[in-house]
Amino acid sequence: MTRGIKNSTPQCIIDDCCNLAHGRGLCDMHHTRWLRYGDPLFEGSQGNKARSTHCRNGHAYTSDNVEWSIRKGYLCRTCIACKTAAIQRAKIKASTKPKNRARAKWARPCEECKEPFLPWRPRDGQRFCSLVCFRTNQARLAKERTEKHCCRCNLLKPLSEFYKDSGMLDRHSSICRTCSDGKRREHAYGMSLEQFISMLEEQDYTCANPNCNTKHLTPDPLNVDHDHLSGAVRGLLCGPCNRGMGCFYDNPILLDGAAIYLRLSSNSYASVVATLPEGVLATSPALTNEGSCALTSVF
């Protein structure tokens, strides 16, 4: 029998098909063939593996009407004509809502991208259309900033008075160096800022080592030296002296042995003696014959 189109309404319009009509007068099978291949009578060798040539609304899948995207690992295509029509319908529907018509008078330009937008609340102080614009604006202002307020002392200080912090927009910590160091000293040694300043003044801003003349000011404070066994604070030392004592485990015998080692080397001993102040050689037992003999007997 020749296949053709029949005029019965409740059934599929394709001849020799007794299934009920689903869409466009076609049954599920012929309607699916029409969607995939553009022909309800298509019976190709590829079967279901063949790609459809039209979308659900009848638009042809051409190179100018296809948008490719990846969804859940699959390469999918979208009809651009259907997508554009859906966006236009959504805009018309949104513009006809009474709430949007009332909010339209509150539209304002974004301070970053200069595009008009509607704030979430009409009378609030929203200045940016999105979080992206807000972060971009804050990052740009942070690069231009040269001063900032400390969160603890609430004083305006230059950025050089703050430690580096990559997590902040301006790449500097929110607490200044003085407050940060004071917080660390209070937590580690139980020493307040007043106690630290008084000890610093007693030492005349110099290292507690009598043979070290290093002098530090408040922007670059001395290090707190403490007993690692009892935890008691002994004084304020410069960085090299504090690290040197820590490397020798606060052991005077090891320190005197290091002095003897330097003394035995003629070149090193001559260079050290040349740099020492007057009177230091006579008062240092590790650099004299008596001290070296006594310590040699210990080792």
In sequence order, what DSSP letters do the residues of 27-73 get, joined into one string?
A: -HHHHHHHHHHS-TT---TTGGGSPPSB-TTS-B--TTSEEEEEETT
Average pLDDT over the chain, rounded to whole? 75
Residue boundaries of the structural domains of the chain: 97-144, 145-190, 191-247, 252-298
The predicted structure's pLDDT at residue 25: 84
Tokens of 34: 């029409």
User: Which of these, 233, 214, 211, 210, lies nearest to 222 by C-alpha position?
Assistant: 214
> What is the percent of the chain where pLDDT is above 70?
73
Mean pLDDT of 147-152: 88
Long-range pairs for 2-11: beta carbons < 8 A, 24 or more residues apart: 3/41
User: pLDDT tens for residues 65-111?
Assistant: 888 877 776 767 888 888 888 888 877 776 656 555 556 677 788 88
The predicted structure's pLDDT at residue 66: 85
The answer to whether residue 48 scores a pLDDT higher than 80 is no
Report the CATH architecture of 191-247.
3-Layer(aba) Sandwich (3.40)
Give the phi and the psi of residue 235 in degrees, each rounded to 5: 170, -170
The residue with greater pLDDT, 75 or 243, is 243
**H or E stretch covering 85:** helix 80-95
**What is the dotted CATH code of the domain comprising 145-190?**
3.30.60
